[in-house]
Amino acid sequence: MTFARLFSFERGAQPGLGAEVDGRLLDVTVFLAERYRAQSLMTLVETGRLSDAAKAVADQAGRLKEIPAGFTWCLPLKRPPKIIALVQNYQDHAAEFGATAPPEPVWFGKISSSLTAHESEIVLPAWLESRVDHEVELAVILGRSGKDIPVEKAPGYVAGYSVLNDVSARHLQKADRENKHPWLRCKNFDTFTPLGPWLVAADAVADPQALSIACRVNGELRQNGNTRQMIHPVNKLIAVLSRYMTLEAGDVIATGTPAGVGKLVDGDVVECEIEGVGLLRNRVVKR
């Protein structure tokens, strides 16, 4: 069974919906509007029809036109209800900071205004003196609301997956850790949460715990791991988080990063890649 990888774009100030099938970038704006009444990918997520739409697009790919050159990539989800990010969910990442991975999941929130799209810029403010690092992460997109979700039922709450870069200002993090608030400020600058390019249907990913995950900066391999190395797998994360809060359709869970996080500087091109899910590319600028 073949599934398209869906995305959002803009061309000539007009928003559109696209799909990648066998390397072709197809305009599916009209197709999704007519068949699913979907003006955005969030509509497909909220109505539980993302997988069905991805399959239908793949089946009809031969009849769909390619997107003309000159379009701009947009976020797959513009304003998700919540972005929840995991702390040290890979043992080797905890070790590189001289820490012991927490026995139970620890998380923090990211703000939707920190999101930025594929091929957009990661902006380091000119006044910021902190070291800034990359962190490639598997993003889980929820498709249903739920509270106190049993771990065995967690897969039914996943709509799809994407690639996320949890950009982090380390010196601010160190300073805030001393005040017991080590994540909120350092990880929520504008553009510090690249996400995309695709929204990949859950049914297209056979096992989210068996995906290679890597990050390259200017072509140099910095991070190289596998999602099987997660301490707390996706299903457990959904179950645990839902004990504390109602999870909603469109919520994004950033599942942690493997070892190899490193410094980003002005002019760098950072590529975050997850097997079957996509390659997220951004240029770093300081201004």
48-89 confidence digits (pLDDT tens): 999 999 999 999 999 999 999 999 999 999 999 999 999 999
| pLDDT value of residue 24 | 98
User: Which domain-ending residue is among 74, 97, 126?
Assistant: 74
Domain total in the chain: 2
Residues 107, 42 share a domain: no
Residue written as tokens 């869906």?
Answer: 6
Residues 134, 90 share a domain: yes
User: Which domain-ending residue is among 74, 92, 121?
Assistant: 74
Residues 107, 59 share a domain: no
Counts for the chain of helices (H) and strands (E), in that order: 6, 18
- Give the pLDDT confidence of 249-271 residue by residue, as tens digits: 999 999 999 999 999 999 999 99
Residues 70, 111 share a domain: no
| pLDDT value of residue 175 | 60
Per the CB < 8 A criterion, the answer to whether 279 and 272 are in contact is: yes
- What number is the average pLDDT over the span 145-171? 96
Cα separation, 88 vs 257, whole angstroms: 7
Cα separation, 27 vs 31, whole angstroms: 8
Per the CB < 8 A criterion, the answer to whether 193 and 252 are in contact is: no
The mean of the pLDDT values for the chain is 95
Residue 101 above 90 pLDDT?
A: no
CATH at residue 111: 3.90.850.10
| pLDDT value of residue 173 | 66
Residues 137, 50 share a domain: no
- Single out the residue of 188, 209, 94 nearest to residue 140, CA to CA: 209
Residues 164, 59 share a domain: no
Let me know if 32 is exposed, middle or buried by CB neighbors in 10 A (0-12, 13-18, 19+).
Answer: buried
Residues 173, 52 share a domain: no
Q: What percent of the chain has pLDDT over 70?
A: 96
Residue 172 above 80 pLDDT?
A: no
Residues 112, 66 share a domain: no
| pLDDT value of residue 102 | 82
Residues 234, 95 share a domain: yes
What are phi and psi for residue 28, nearest 5 degrees? -115, 20
Question: Which residue did the predictor score with more confidence, 255 or 187?
Answer: 255
User: Which domain-ending residue is among 55, 74, 93?
Assistant: 74
- Name the pLDDT band for 171 (thresholds 50, 70, 90): low
| pLDDT value of residue 121 | 99
Per the CB < 8 A criterion, the answer to whether 74 and 249 are in contact is: no
Q: How many CB atoms lie within 10 A of CB 68?
A: 10
- Single out the residue of 124, 9, 128, 153 nearest to residue 71, CA to CA: 9
Residues 231, 114 share a domain: yes
- Name the pLDDT band for 134 (thresholds 50, 70, 90): very high
| pLDDT value of residue 99 | 80
| pLDDT value of residue 75 | 99
Residues 240, 158 share a domain: yes
Residue 94 vs residues 91, 116, 201, 241: alpha-carbon distances, Å: 5, 26, 30, 21
Cα separation, 115 vs 80, whole angstroms: 10
Least confident of 137-151, 180-194, 196-210, 251-265: 180-194
Residue written as tokens 């702390």?
Answer: 87
- What number is the average pLDDT over the span 150-165? 99
Residues 91, 48 share a domain: no
Q: Which domain holds residue 109?
A: 83-286
- Name the pLDDT band for 1 (thresholds 50, 70, 90): confident
